[in-house]
Amino acid sequence: MVMTQPSPRYRLARAKGAAKAKKRTPKAKPAAFVYVLGSFHKGRYISYVGWTNDVTQRLAKHNNGTGARSTRGRTWTLLHTEGFKTRNEAMSREWHLKRDRAFRKKLMDKVRAKP
């Protein structure tokens, strides 16, 4: 078997690829977010939990009436967000937050306390 050296072009391409990979890895932006919204409607405070890739766009949809059916016709305020690396992690956290009434109640109490 004859061993040959990689061509200079191949070595240069590999070096450029490694340099690009190093530039891309410093900070991983969250791929998905879980959010908690709050609203005062018909004399009571209500909350909504969801997940999205873009929190500001999703909040705008909820306030425009094109979000989830249960959020239509109300003005919503963003109470809490959490970022996650994967969509599955965000969906799992959403599932847990939807069942954690104490956490959402604590967030709503903070809203009520504000003048």
Q: Is residue 15 part of a domain?
A: no
Q: Is residue 59 part of a domain?
A: yes
The CATH number for 103's domain is 3.40.1440
- What is the structure's pLDDT at 59? 94
Q: Give tens-digit pLDDT for 33-90.
A: 999 999 887 888 889 999 999 999 999 999 998 888 888 888 999 999 999 999 999 9
CB atoms within 10 A of CB 70: 10
- What is the structure's pLDDT at 7? 66
Q: Look up the domain containing 84 and give its range.
A: 33-113
| Mean pLDDT of the 80-109 span | 93
pLDDT at 21 over 60: no
Which position has the higher pLDDT, 101 or 14? 101
- What is the structure's pLDDT at 35? 96
Q: Is residue 42 part of a domain?
A: yes
Number of domains into which the chain is organized: 1
Across the beta sheet with 77-84, the strand order is 44-52, 32-41, 77-84
- What is the structure's pLDDT at 25? 56
Q: Is residue 74 part of a domain?
A: yes
pLDDT at 5 over 80: no
Q: Is residue 26 part of a domain?
A: no
Which position has the higher pLDDT, 31 or 5? 31
